[in-house]
Structure 1
């Protein structure tokens, strides 16, 4: 297998949720640059439109991942283009609230968005992939699903992301014989809408630098290699795995 072939996604249909900003926006651009036709899904249509205008191969699609009808419409659109080959479950939500004061409604909201919606879309995509011989699902988890978030009070988010990592293993083993690979990426501290305030705070960003073995947060583009590995032919014998891209955070 040539070096160019292992990252070539020409002819593939990819879906990226939460693609209107941050990591999801970059994931959509990376897959499109590798040759895939990418359905960029999110609620903020104006941001999706600007993304589609900036790069060929990206199609904007409004989707609220908590709505079953929206998820079904997303897979239908992929089917109309030839069928989904790659799903990147990136959409998510988080807040930072001490567990003892966490409203249960917000805890449930975290699981609805970060776990339940991810499971529902994965099942829809998995069925479509299995019917056509296979595909790749890449779940975006977090290092906070692997280790505790303290002193940052994010028990709900960390628990949800831990569930995503566990779900990845279960679905991978259920669907492996149908050719559907399921893996996850656990980013460390990267710039995104969920972390921008923390990274902008000198005290908080200093804590991240001190506790990350590489001495800094992640930078734009440093998740691209893991994404292309798991989404494409380079990762054809990888399933049920979680890759931490965290500057050594979980190695401490």
Structure 2
């Protein structure tokens, strides 16, 4: 039997920023693959809506209404929710971008982006790693960006944090591999999300993106979700420390 299992049947997955865009696509794909999902986000109505969609698939869903910068409280909430359940999958998806040119970046912007994109991801991964070490297995997936792999025109602090996530992924994979914990990342290019909505309304900007994307189109969220299911499932058991660039070939060129 050469085709590995992509099933997440009865696994418990935690997804930060799990009510919109990439995070929601991943949360829903996990549920479709059989997992129960804890979704963490800031908007109560969005949480309730996504929770209902997951439950309609016959899976259980739990919600935590917090900003990821409240990672200490999130850890307490997850501990209370899970009880004796394992945490099989943890996805660090929540992130922000402020598209300032380098000379315009303020200290406040720096702190906000670094804390949201990098600091919270590390300490939540630290928690997940401790739980998974006791279990003897687990999967951590960090949502980085093509911008962490190549240079972008603007958004230098965002790019720095996404590059840091790639390096964090490698280091945690090396440190925790002996505990059967897989740590990987996904690096998306342009997908329709709240962060890209305004940019994708600019025809000139979109054409510049397409000119550097061999597949000549914007990605579809379900095309990104499949990569997450692969990494979270037994099919990805021999993958660790890697960043899958789901970018339509863009990283061939740079931008």
- Please give the TM-score of this superposition, normalised by the length of structure 1: 0.95
The SS at the match of 2:192 is coil
Q: Counterparts of 1:74-223 in structure 2 under 5 Å?
A: 74-77=77-80, 79-80=82-83, 82-150=85-153, 153-223=154-224
**Pairwise CA distance, 1:81:** 5.8
CA separation of 1:237 and 1:78: change in aligned 2, threshold 3 A:
farther
**Pairwise CA distance, 1:2:** 6.7
CA separation of 1:224 and 1:68: change in aligned 2, threshold 3 A:
closer
Contact in 2 for aligned 1:93/1:110 (Cα 8 Å): yes
1:16 aligns with 2:15: yes
CA separation of 1:81 and 1:219: change in aligned 2, threshold 3 A:
farther
Structure 2: tracts of 5 or more residues without a match? none
The SS at the match of 2:204 is helix
**Pairwise CA distance, 1:124:** 0.3
**Pairwise CA distance, 1:78:** 5.1
In structure 2, what is the Cα distance between the partners aligned to 1:77 and 1:40? Answer: 14
1:26 aligns with 2:25: yes
The SS at the match of 1:244 is strand
Q: Which has the higher contact order (CA 8 A, sep 6+)?
A: 2
CA RMSD of aligned residues (A): 1.3
1:48 aligns with 2:47: yes
**Pairwise CA distance, 1:75:** 3.1
In structure 2, what is the Cα distance between the partners aligned to 1:75 and 1:171? Answer: 21
Contact in 2 for aligned 1:13/1:81 (Cα 8 Å): no
Contact in 1 for aligned 2:16/2:23 (Cα 8 Å): yes
In structure 1, what is the Cα distance between the partners aligned to 2:116 and 2:104? Answer: 20
The SS at the match of 1:184 is strand
